[in-house]
Structure 1
Amino acid sequence: MSDDKDNHIEAHDHAVVLGAGVAGLLAARVLADRFARVTLVERDELPGDAPAFRPGLPQSRHVHVLWSRGVALIEELLPGVTDRLLAGGALLLDTPGDFLWLSPADWFHQVPGEKVLLVSRELLDWTVRREVLRHERIRLRSGSPATGLVGGPDGRSVTGVEFRDGDPLAARFVIDATGRTSKAPAWLAALGHRAPRSPGTTPVSDTPAATTRFRPIRRAAGRACTCRAARTSRAGRCSYRRTAAGGW
């Protein structure tokens, strides 16, 4: 449901989610079972009619993978979403059976395994967002950067979100799903609260990502390909799709 920017919502029964990526969208869907109104706040203007790139997701041009448990959980929250993703061009493949997978040791045998969904991030976000916004309790406020949090009169709570333009939005519960660009620690500090403790280290996968077009060997026809980079000992994954020009 689109947001009419009505800020006169009963705060005690209203939740706000900052960030309308996959994490924020799914959080909003869960909160809709508890609150009478949930508002998704996104700084980017979001595409409506078709999947499209947006600045807040610079990595979205790469193929994304949803492992079997992720597919099952999203399907549980949004029944039918997997079929809609497949209709949009996503692929549901068996791993490692549908892959040519070269590890540092040797090729994986093509045996049955778990199902994984290969999908562009634009299609994933757009499809999940459409399904989430079908819920009558969820509204979207896009193109509206949040600038801070509203502190409660008790000095211990957060009671809403402030914006660059417009009045604050009152809420009983606020979730920050803005990811690595989160300003929540600074906002909490401005209210006199202690910022959440950092674990001290940032997880690093040591797996760089690159996207290109290529023509696979005959053996790879109809499969996704996972290979080892020529100059490293680490394995990598590459997925391909035939283009209209006959490339991959």
Structure 2
Amino acid sequence: MTELPSSRARALVLGGGLAGTLAAAALAPFVHEVLILEHDAALPDAPAPRARLPQAAHAHMLWAGGADAMEELLPGVTGDWLAAGAHRIPIPSGMVSFSEAGWFRRSWADTHYLIGASRNLIDWAVRERVLRLPNVRVQTGTRVCGLEGDAARVLGVAVRDAEGEGKGKGKGEGKGEGGGWGERRLIAADLVVDATGRNSKCTQWLRDIGGPQVRETVVDAGVRYASRKYWAPEGAGTDWPVIHIPADPRRGRPGIVATIISIENGQWHVSLSGTRGGEPSSEEDLFEEYARRARHPLVAEFLARAEPAGEVAVFTRTANRRRHFEQARLPDGFIAVGDAATSLNPVYGHGMSAAALGALALRDQARRMSLLSPGFAAKAQRAIARPAAAAWMLAVGQDRFYPGAIGRKPTPADRLTARYVHRLNRAAIGSALIVRKLTDVMAMRRPAHVLGHPAVLLAAALGSRKPLLDGPELTPREREVLDRPPLRSPEPTPAKPAR
């Protein structure tokens, strides 16, 4: 964008994380100013951790649908990721996956991709691009206390500024943390976008100004994550595939997932997760042993031939939580995006993509009508909710089946759908059509209803046209790594209680 838009509207984005910066990119062409209010004293000016983003310590999949959306919002961001060491991993040839029906073939033509990178790198490249936009600025060290306005319209937010030296105006500047918080003050806006994540207080803020009670749905399988980075073994190269051993929710036991994703700096990002009753430990000497508890030990076998590059990090805030803003009578001038509206179990890798597609929907709505028009926020919220709802169905359609899951129990319709998905997975082992359609949905390029297309139904009825594989399809280079002597003994160590 080379010229400022003619609109005098001002948008406030609450939160400088991925969802917030993408929302700022979506709105920038249509407003005079976008001001991002960030609680942290400073935002990193390099791919570095943020204290208020603990999930960044875990492996992330940025599927093609989300990466395409980010590239459309911020042309050139994909090149930024790759130049900084990220990998563009082709699918299906770049994924070794053991579905509940068997090993997927990798020999089909590549139709999709995902970005292999740390969350820190993905966020940094997006933030760098957004803060170059001439009408976007960020104010750090700012705590939002509530909304200003009434049940008809939000007029801005009340904030307190961190007291201390400096005024936070950019990605690397910020107010000091030593002096507490200053006096409450008002920042006026024509549109307030809540992007404060899972910890959002916006439902209470809306009630405080006479707004609606927002209905909330929770499905919680009690997933606990344990993640660690490893140095890729010598000779592994930069085109290492994703190794993914998912759980099988049909087994009636805790689900264990093990994943290796190649990221920047010659490292593998490894995440292990287990549902309620089968959670991983934070103990380093139990990490690889736990990986062997997955449905196949392939991840553990590769880890035994790689050197750890860091400590084990754990994360437990993984419940699927959907706040149905699209169904509420929200005041004009307010919308919620990202995890503030729909937060997902991260094991399916759809959070970033859902946020990106929601930002794209916000941009498209801003193209159709002015942000100042009555009803803009309600229409934008419904548009934002659609990709989030698709990701929600993919997540809860699995999580409801695990033992001890909190939330609505599976219905007969849920069980019928699960059986159909299992049949699709089995048929996909010998059907390029079903592989493509399943990946369309998983990569968030197409909605789930494409799996009901007559051609897909027929292929599912015919079943796999090829025999099941008796093991993973590995390249000679991948087998050579696996054939090396392990660096550590695979013998199990005495069990220790999870912490």
Q: TM-score band (shorter)?
A: 0.7 to 0.9
C-alpha deviation, 1:175, in angstroms: 0.8
Determine whether 1:98 maps to 2:94: yes
> Superposition pairs for residues 72-221 of structure 1, below 5 Å?
72-110=68-106, 111=108, 112-151=110-149, 156-165=152-161, 167-198=185-216, 201-204=217-220, 208-213=224-229
More helix by share: 2
Preserved contact between residue 46 and residue 54 of structure 1 (Cα < 8 Å): no
CA distance in 1, matches of 2:230, 2:136: 42
**How high is the TM-score relative to the length of structure 2?**
0.43
Q: CA deviation at 1:161?
A: 0.9
- d(CA) in 1 for partners of 2:259 and 2:222? 13
Letter matched to residue 215 of structure 2: R
Structure-to-structure mapping, 1:226-237, within 5 angstroms: 226-228=244-246, 235-237=257-259
Contact 2:16/2:37 (8 A) holds in 1 = yes
Count of aligned residue pairs for this structure pair? 233
Deviations, residues 101-120 of structure 1 (Å, cap 9, x unaligned): 12233221113231111221
The Cα shift of 1:224 comes to 2.2
Please list, as runs of the form range in 1=range in 2, the aligned pairs for 1:11-30 lying within 5 A after superposition.
Answer: 13-30=9-26
Letter in structure 1 aligned against 2:190: R
The reply to whether residue 247 of structure 1 matches residue 263 of structure 2 is: no
Kept after mapping to 2: 8 A contact 1:104/1:235:
no
Higher relative contact order (CA 8 A, sep 6+): 1
Closer, same or farther in 2 for the Cα pair 1:214/1:129, shift >3 Å? Answer: closer
CA gap of 1:104–1:220, structure 2 versus 1, over 3 A, is farther
The verdict on how the C-alpha distance between 1:102 and 1:78 changes in structure 2, with shifts beyond 3 A counting, is same
Consecutive unaligned residues of structure 1, counting only runs of 5 or more, are 1-10
Counterpart AA for 1:106? G
Cα displacement string for residues 15-37 of structure 1 (whole angstroms, at most 9, x for unaligned residues):
10111111111111111121100
Q: Name the CA shift for 1:144/1:177 in 2 (closer, same or farther; >3 Å).
A: same
Q: CA offset at residue 204 of structure 1? A: 4.6
Change (3 A) 1:151 1:229: closer
CA distance in 2, matches of 1:106, 1:30: 41
> 1:179: Cα distance to partner?
1.8
Amino acid at match of 2:30: R
User: Secondary structure at 2:211's aligned position in 1?
Assistant: coil
Q: Which residue of 2 aligns with 1:238?
A: 260
How large is the Cα RMSD of the aligned pairs?
Answer: 3.0
Structure 1 residue identity aligned to 2:36: L
Larger Rg: 2
From the superposition, tell whether residues 69 and 142 of structure 1 become closer, same or farther in structure 2 (CA, over 3 Å). Answer: same
Identity %: 36
Distance 1:204 1:12, change over 3 A: farther
| Partner amino acid, structure 2, of 1:31 | L
Conserved? CA contact 1:103–1:235, under 8 Å? no
In the alignment, the residues of structure 1 paired with residue 149 and residue 57 of structure 2 have an alpha-carbon distance, to the nearest angstrom, of 38
**Conserved 8 A contact 2:232-2:267:** no
Structure 1 or 2: more strand by fraction: 1
| Counterpart code for 2:117 | V
Check the 8 A contact 2:233/2:307 in 1, yes or no: no
Task: Give the aligned residue type for 2:226.
Answer: A
Describe the shift of the 1:108–1:214 C-alpha distance in structure 2 as closer, same or farther (beyond 3 A).
Answer: farther
Q: Which residue of 1 aligns with 2:243?
A: 225
Q: Note if contact 1:19-1:176 (Cα within 8 Å) is conserved in structure 2.
A: yes
Q: CA deviation at 1:159?
A: 0.6
Decide whether aligned partners of structure 1 residues 213 and 23 sit closer, same or farther in structure 2, where only a CA change above 3 A counts. closer
Q: Residues 8 and 32 of structure 2 are in contact (CA less than 8 Å); yes or no, is this contact kept in structure 1?
A: no
Q: Matches of 1:238 and 1:207 in 2, distance apart?
A: 18
Q: Is the Cα–Cα contact under 8 Å of residues 58 and 228 in structure 2 kept in the other structure?
A: no
Q: TM-score, normalised by structure 1?
A: 0.82
The runs of 5 or more residues in structure 2 that have no matched partner are: 1-6, 162-182, 269-305, 309-499
